């Protein structure tokens, strides 16, 4: 593959600084939990159901604990104690806690370690359920291999899960390797996960466990039919990012949009809450061997893609550092970036090529996610098709791993069936016609592309130095990323964060940390 | 009417005046076949295309074909009969806007904006209000004459109303990007209703914006003006400066 000459010491230094930035936040994370985290753990024990108002049992239970300021001991403590007090299984324990008489928040003769011991079998079962889904995926992929990279990723977003399933199969028929069901726009701010199959949603379809199963069936059928493994993707983001990560783990999703900072910047979710939740979500993701897709591409939809290219790279280093601390391996880190430079700028293509090449070289083992132009798309669908072709050319030349296909109707509507077909056809052409182009060319060491790559790396380094000096908490509050400013206690969901007590009980998280930890 | 506007009915222009040539593409739920091609041809004819040519017929999903058709449209449009509601505003320069607000109003114009309902897309409201602006045209926050409050996305109408009143807003901007099942119209109309019920509708200028919004739709929903795709912050600034401190005082 062609390379641009880069100063490896600067790259190493960027990694070191990003590690220090994430390490600082990790100390906070390790001392806290949240309503989202505790609901996830309760779900992971296999506890399910809703109350007579349709509120998930896990929400009722965790809300009750949180109102008594009892979350810092871990919901697991109370479930374990309930087992010792005679509950027949975790489900009954949870129901007693959610719907029974007031919860006694004193120890009441049951020590944290005794409660934890009582959860040994349920903890093993919880992990076995995740492992089983992972093994099943590995088996399927061994029998039905995925297509060649860049994997072609398309979205469906009808609002009705049954239509989504139909469109997912149609997309696979037309050549897609990855199908993502876009979530309903409001879901990221819901502090609960809706229940059951859903047929109504604006801007997309609700992520629910049942909806995950419906799409999994459709994509599995498509894998069989077309002899190519079809990946399923959804969103582990927003106030329920950890719960959704667990659902995806047990329903065998292949990829998840999951970012350490996206919710803070783009959904105004509190940063303490986000950092705590992203960590636990990634512990499940790590165990399930799901590939994450990070959201740096979004930075360039609000900030300028030429001036702020370095913020994308800086954030990729930070996302990588957080992911390492949550036990992910590089092969699971689909770091995101995008083709969002104004197409009418002279040499815009060269700058796009430089950035894509830079990211590829700095993150060689990572399944990089390459996003299409959106900001400069207009209703001129004919021009948009050409714009997407240039994007595809960069994607294949620089060996991007996962490519979300551009849609010529991007500025008009959610993609129609035929829009997706034409996009896949054009992409197939570019990918095949230029398959080995990147191996045939060399970049002039002193040329424009190499110079641009070096400049972005240097600016990235300077930004990381600045972020470390100020701490990420303050850097975000002064708009270092995406030109968006957020404060430490501002945003949604801060009330759902709780400090862990010294004897915090969470045997599932302990087990995930014991097997996955690296950094 | 524009002095150069034509007076004769217009047909689509291919490469000769009056040939009516148009292209259309569509999908029918049929696998490709001779019968499907004929179905596509008739479909085009029903749309007023004479001598349609089915240039492409290709399977785009199992049991579905995608067609590209060319034909001579028999329809003509009488431009003389058309009246379009457009925002009547002179494009003022930044200096003129600042000058006008400073001398005629003598205080800042308070603007409160939000993307309402379930819509999570802040791109539009950010482009108009935030300092950064859009394509080099700086947002209202960058003007000395404006005090811009961007409440962000997923703001309920009640909350927007409460904030607008608390801040003594001169203008309220509602952005709507998602248009599925006309939720943008419902959200917009609901705010106008709320303002009327609460009795402050006539104390503010209500603006509606988004990629699928135009001035006509905004007026229909009860807003004072609508801004569609490609609107620059300076367009909104000009409009507000003229509306709130121009000759045409309300």
> Is 70 exceeded by the pLDDT of residue A105?
yes
Which residue in this structure is represented by tokens 């089983």?
A132
Residue B250 has a pLDDT of 41
Average pLDDT over residues A364-378: 95
- The structure's pTM equals 0.85
A219 CB contacts (<8 Å, ≥6 apart)?
A168, A169, A172, A179, A230, A231, A232
Of A202, A375, A483, Cβ closest to residue B132 = A483
Give B67-106 pLDDT, tens digit per residue.
999 999 999 999 888 887 777 667 788 999 999 999 988 9
Residue A503 has a pLDDT of 94
Element spanning A143, H or E: helix A120-143
B159 touches chain A (CB under 8 A): no
Whole-angstrom distance, CA of residue B140 vs CA of residue B127: 9
The yes-or-no answer on residue A297 being catalytic is: yes
Supply the DSSP symbol for B77: B
Average pLDDT over residues A397-410: 96
Report the percent of chain A where pLDDT is more than 70: 99
The yes-or-no answer on residue A369 being catalytic is: yes
Query: Do the beta carbons of residue B152 and residue B122 sit within 8 Å?
Result: yes
Strands B146-150 and B171-175: unpaired
Residue B85 has a pLDDT of 76
Q: Using CA coordinates, name the residue in chain A closest to B125.
A: A302
Among B132, B138, B216, B232, the one annotated catalytic? B132
In this structure, the number of other CB atoms found within 10 A of the CB of residue B106 comes to 8
Question: What 3-state class would DSSP assign to B117?
Answer: coil
Query: Do the beta carbons of residue B135 and residue B231 sit within 8 Å?
Result: no
> Is 60 exceeded by the pLDDT of residue A206?
yes
Q: Best residue in A166, A184, A186 to probe B by mutation, most B CBs within 10 Å?
A: A186
Give A7-44 pLDDT, tens digit per residue.
999 999 999 999 999 999 999 999 999 999 999 999 99
Do residue B66 and residue A418 have CB atoms under 8 angstroms apart?
yes
**Residue in A402, A396, A70, A26 with CA at minimum distance from that of residue A233:** A402
| Contacts with A479 from chain B: Cβ below 8 Å | none
Whole-angstrom distance, CA of residue A416 vs CA of residue A177: 18
Q: Using CA coordinates, name the residue in chain A closest to B27.
A: A418
Range of weakest confidence among A144-153, A174-183, A482-491: A482-491
Distance from the B203 Cα atom to the nearest Cα atom in chain A, whole angstroms: 31
Distance from the B98 Cα atom to the nearest Cα atom in chain A, whole angstroms: 25
Give A78-92 pLDDT, tens digit per residue.
999 999 999 999 999
Burial of A190 (0-12, 13-18, 19+ CB in 10 A): middle
Among A116, A308, A369, A492, the one annotated catalytic? A369
Residue B249 has a pLDDT of 43
Average pLDDT over residues B166-180: 89
Chain A contacts to B (CB-CB under 8 A): 159, 169-170, 173-174, 184-186, 188-189, 202-203, 266-268, 301-303, 375, 378-379, 411, 414, 416-418, 421-422, 483
ipTM of the complex: 0.83
Q: Which residues of A145-168 are buried (b: 16+ CB within 10 A; e: fewer)?
A: eebebbbbbbbbbbbebeebbbbb
Burial of B163 (0-12, 13-18, 19+ CB in 10 A): middle
Reported confidence tier of residue A516, pLDDT bands at 50, 70, 90 = low
Whole-angstrom distance, CA of residue B184 vs CA of residue B143: 29
Q: How many CA atoms lie within 13 A of A243 on its CB side?
A: 29
Give A417-448 pLDDT, tens digit per residue.
899 999 999 999 999 999 999 999 999 999 99
Whole-angstrom distance, CA of residue A503 vs CA of residue A74: 9
Whole-angstrom distance, CA of residue A316 vs CA of residue A362: 10
Whole-angstrom distance, CA of residue A65 vs CA of residue A69: 6
Of A188, A266, A417, Cβ closest to residue B60 = A417
Query: Do the beta carbons of residue A419 and residue A408 sit within 8 Å?
Result: yes
> Is 90 exceeded by the pLDDT of residue A298?
no
Reported confidence tier of residue B248, pLDDT bands at 50, 70, 90 = very low
Reported confidence tier of residue B1, pLDDT bands at 50, 70, 90 = very low
Reported confidence tier of residue A494, pLDDT bands at 50, 70, 90 = very high
Average pLDDT, chain A: 95
The yes-or-no answer on residue A425 being catalytic is: no
């Amino acid at each position: 593959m062609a390379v641009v000459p880069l100063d490896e010491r600067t790259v190493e230094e960027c990694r070191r600084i990003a590690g220090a930035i994430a390490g600082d936040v990790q100390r906070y994370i390790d001392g806290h939990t949240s309503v989202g985290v505790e609901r996830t753990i309760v779900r992971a024990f296999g506890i399910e159901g809703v109350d007579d108002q349709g509120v998930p049992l896990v929400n009722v239970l965790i809300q009750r604990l949180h109102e008594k300021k009892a979350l810092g001991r871990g919901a697991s403590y109370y479930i374990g104690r309930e087992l010792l007090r005679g509950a027949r299984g975790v489900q009954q324990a949870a129901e007693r806690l959610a719907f029974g008489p007031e919860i006694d928040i004193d120890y009441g003769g049951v020590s944290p370690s005794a409660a934890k011991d009582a959860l040994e079998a349920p903890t093993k079962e919880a992990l076995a359920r995740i492992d089983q889904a992972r093994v099943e995926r590995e088996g399927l992929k061994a029998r039905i291999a995925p297509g060649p990279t860049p994997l072609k990723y398309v979205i469906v977003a009808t609002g009705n899960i049954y239509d989504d399933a139909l469109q997912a199969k149609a997309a696979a028929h037309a050549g897609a390797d990855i199908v993502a069901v876009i979530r309903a726009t409001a879901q990221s701010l819901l502090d609960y996960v809706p229940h059951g199959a859903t047929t109504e949603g604006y801007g997309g379809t609700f992520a629910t466990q049942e909806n995950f199963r419906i799409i999994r069936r459709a994509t599995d059928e498509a894998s069989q039919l077309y002899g190519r493994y079809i990946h399923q993707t959804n969103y582990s983001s927003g106030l329920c990012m950890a719960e959704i990560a667990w659902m995806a783990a047990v329903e065998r999703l292949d990829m998840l949009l999951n970012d350490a900072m996206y919710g803070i910047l783009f959904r105004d979710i509190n940063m303490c809450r986000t950092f705590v939740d992203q960590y636990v979500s990634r512990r499940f993701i790590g165990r399930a061997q799901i590939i994450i897709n990070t959201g740096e591409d979004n930075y360039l939809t609000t900030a300028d893609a030429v001036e702020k290219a370095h913020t994308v790279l800086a954030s990729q280093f930070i996302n990588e550092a957080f992911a390492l601390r949550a036990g992910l391996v590089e092969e699971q880190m689909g770091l995101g970036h995008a083709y969002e430079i104004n197409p009418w700028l002279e040499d815009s293509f060269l700058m796009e090529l430089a950035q894509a090449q830079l990211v590829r070289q700095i993150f060689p083992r990572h399944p990089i996610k390459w996003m299409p132009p959106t900001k400069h798309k207009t209703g001129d669908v004919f021009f948009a098709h050409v714009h997407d072709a240039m994007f595809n050319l960069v994607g294949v030349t620089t060996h991007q791993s996962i490519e979300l296909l551009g849609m010529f109707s991007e500025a008009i509507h959610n993609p129609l069936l035929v829009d997706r077909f034409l996009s896949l056809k054009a992409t197939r052409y570019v990918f095949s016609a230029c398959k080995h182009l990147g191996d045939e060319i060399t970049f002039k060491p002193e040329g424009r592309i190499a110079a641009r790559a070096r400049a972005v790396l240097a600016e990235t380094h300077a930004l990381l130095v600045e972020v470390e000096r100020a701490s990420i908490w303050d850097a975000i509050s002064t708009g270092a990323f995406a030109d968006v400013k957020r404060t430490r206690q501002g945003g949604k969901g801060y009330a759902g964060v709780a400090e862990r007590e010294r004897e915090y009980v969470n045997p599932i998280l302990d087990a995930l940390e014991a097997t996955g930890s690296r950094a | 009417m524009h002095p150069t506007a034509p007076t004769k009915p217009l047909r689509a222009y291919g490469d000769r005046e009056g040939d009516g040539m148009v292209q259309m593409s569509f999908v029918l739920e049929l696998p490709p076949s001779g019968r499907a091609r004929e179905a596509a041809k008739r479909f085009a004819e029903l749309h007023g295309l004479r001598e349609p040519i089915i240039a492409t017929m290709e399977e785009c999903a199992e049991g579905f074909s995608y067609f590209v058709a060319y034909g001579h449209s028999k329809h003509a449009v009488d431009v003389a009969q058309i009246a379009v509601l457009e925002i009547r505003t002179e494009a003022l320069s930044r200096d003129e806007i600042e000058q006008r607000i400073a001398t005629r109003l003598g205080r800042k114009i308070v603007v409160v904006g939000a993307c309402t309902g379930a819509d999570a897309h802040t791109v539009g409201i950010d482009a108009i209000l935030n300092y950064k602006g859009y394509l080099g045209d700086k947002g209202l926050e960058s003007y000395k004459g404006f005090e811009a409050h961007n409440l962000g996305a997923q703001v309920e109408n009640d909350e927007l109303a409460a904030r607008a009143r608390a801040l003594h807003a001169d203008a309220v901007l509602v952005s709507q990007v998602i248009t599925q099942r006309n939720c943008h119209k419902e959200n917009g109309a609901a705010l106008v209703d709320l303002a009327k019920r609460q009795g402050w509708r006539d104390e503010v200028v209500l603006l509606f914006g988004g990629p699928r919004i135009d001035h006509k739709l905004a007026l229909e929903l009860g807003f004072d003006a609508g801004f569609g795709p490609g609107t620059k912050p300076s367009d909104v600034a000009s409009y507000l400066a003229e509306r709130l401190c121009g000759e045409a005082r309300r």
